[in-house]
Chains A and B, each alone.
Chain A
Amino acid sequence: MAMTDLRLRSIAIAAAASVAASLCAAPANAWEPTRTVEFIVPAGTGGGADQMARMIQGIIAKHHLMKQTMVVVNKAGGAGGEGFLDIKGAKGNPHKLVITLSNLFTTPLATGIPFSWKDMTPVAMMALDEFVLWTNAASPYKTAQDYVAAIKGGTPGQFKMGGTGSKQEDQIITVALENAIGQKMTYVPYKGGGEVAVQLVGKHIDSTVNNPIEAVAQWRAGTLRPLCVFDSKALPVKDKIAGDMAWSDIPTCKSQGLDIEYLMLRGIFMPAGVPKEAVEYYVELLKKVRATPEWAQLMHDGAFNQSFMTGADYTKWVENEEKRHRDLMQKAGFMAKN
């Protein structure tokens, strides 16, 4: 169709070739799923984690990467606690996977629902999702410094930050921002990232910390303005998005005097006590998924940080991240009382 993105075609062909290569080269695995694999999403339909899970499911189906079928099951209750408890209860079941977002760390701390990543087997980090500080394009704040100055000059709580969910990643960043600036903001929780972006377009709030993919359409339409990205280095994608701005042109928040870094895990876990061969099988499977053109397109559109980790590296990363979240949540006063 005419809609196919031309600039991606070359990437696509290269990636398709590598998929074909990896398919031929794949050795006979010691373990293979013998029944339908359930892919749990601890969030509602339509969100970022759900999209990624369904994307993985679609890629596996389209390229016949697995003999058995994979089904996506949403278990969003209790800020995702329902989904994680399901994995915790499925000890030793190698036909269950779960995709995580930051609620892997925040939900047990904020709600007291009893689970942790230690109840699961880490499989692979698929990507990290970036966060960008956005304001309305009609606002006078051209840079993060302008905006920070305005917040400092205003009254406590005068500036409204919209975000997804409560006591989760968006609010953690907001609290970090408040601490860096030294002034309170008002945090308003909404249900989904798309809604947050549109509330900003409608000027009901002053700023957001949306993920790139949630706000990119409004940016391209010239209604939103990115101020800075909460990462240690600028984003890699250099295609022009709005006017002559590209993702890579957004400065890091650190360079703007806000020393805040936050990336959200999009990782895959399995229940505890599964055979080692099963974990290896899924790692190989996910590697194949990552080599497809569809995956490349998603990573490109969402300006994801394409880190990939497995095994001990991944476990170590998760361990550090949990400590960091505990620290952040404690500082912000988000811990459950009981």
Chain B
Amino acid sequence: MSNPPNEPQSTGPRHRTVEVWVALCILALGAITMIGSLQVGIGWGAEGPQSGFFPFYVGLIIIAASVINVVRAWAGPGARLFAEWDQLAQVRKVVIPMAIYVAAVPWIGIYVASALLIAGFMRWLGRYSWLFTLCLSVALPIVIYVTFEQWFLVPLPKGPLEDLLGL
């Protein structure tokens, strides 16, 4: 999927710039789709289309539509802001912890990672007392453990702590 576009350093993110970047990312995905389709064959065999037939044309349409989107975005009004810097900083406050969380799950397991995420949010954004933060961030993973693993028998990713506890 599209990566967050690089925000320009000097002027702040203009809507037009972001829109062009988004359209370019989609265009790139279209190109990848076409390359992948070519690898598996895009012909129309005796028994109907091959594996890559549909994705190939889908990719082609994505590229065509994205070119239109890039041109229209470029021609559009340039002054409008995508978002204010403060607002983007707010968004980053979720995206960065979330990225760390997602990266940490395979290593430390989902329970410990979740406890840290909840605690971090509550302390950092909510400014709750340590006691309340600690209670909730420990209690919720335990509730999840009981619900999923004990009740519904769905195993979730675990890490060294769970190994230590023998769960």
Contacts and interface: CB of A to CB of B under 8 A. Distances in A.
Contacts of B89: none
Given A34-B166, A35-B166, A35-B167, A71 B154 contact: yes
B155 A36 contact: yes
A186 B155 contact: no
B91 interface: no
B155 A71 contact: yes
Contacts of A73: 155
Q: How large is the interface on B (under 10, 10 to 19, 20 to 34, 35 or more residues)?
A: under 10
Contacts of A35: 166-167
A38 interface: yes
Main DSSP-derived SS at the B contact region: loop
Contacts of B155: 36, 38, 71, 73
A69 B153 contact: yes
Given A71-B155, A186-B47, A36 B166 contact: no
Contacts of B149: 36
Contacts of B154: 71
A69 B167 CA distance: 12
Interface in A125-158: none
Contacts of A38: 155
Nearest to B163: A35
B47 A71 contact: no
Interface in A38-88: 38, 69, 71-73
A61 B149 CA distance: 15
A73 B153 CA distance: 10
Interface string B132-152: 000000000000000001000
A289 B141 CA distance: 35
B144 to A, nearest CB: 16
Contacts of A71: 153-155
A90 to B, nearest CB: 12
A73 B152 CA distance: 12
A150 B155 CA distance: 53
Interface in B112-167: 149, 153-155, 166-167
Given A34-B166, A36-B153, 12 more contacts: A35-B166, A35-B167, A36-B149, A36-B155, A38-B155, A69-B153, A71-B153, A71-B154, A71-B155, A72-B153, A73-B155, A186-B47
14 contacts: A34-B166, A35-B166, A35-B167, A36-B149, A36-B153, A36-B155, A38-B155, A69-B153, A71-B153, A71-B154, A71-B155, A72-B153, A73-B155, A186-B47
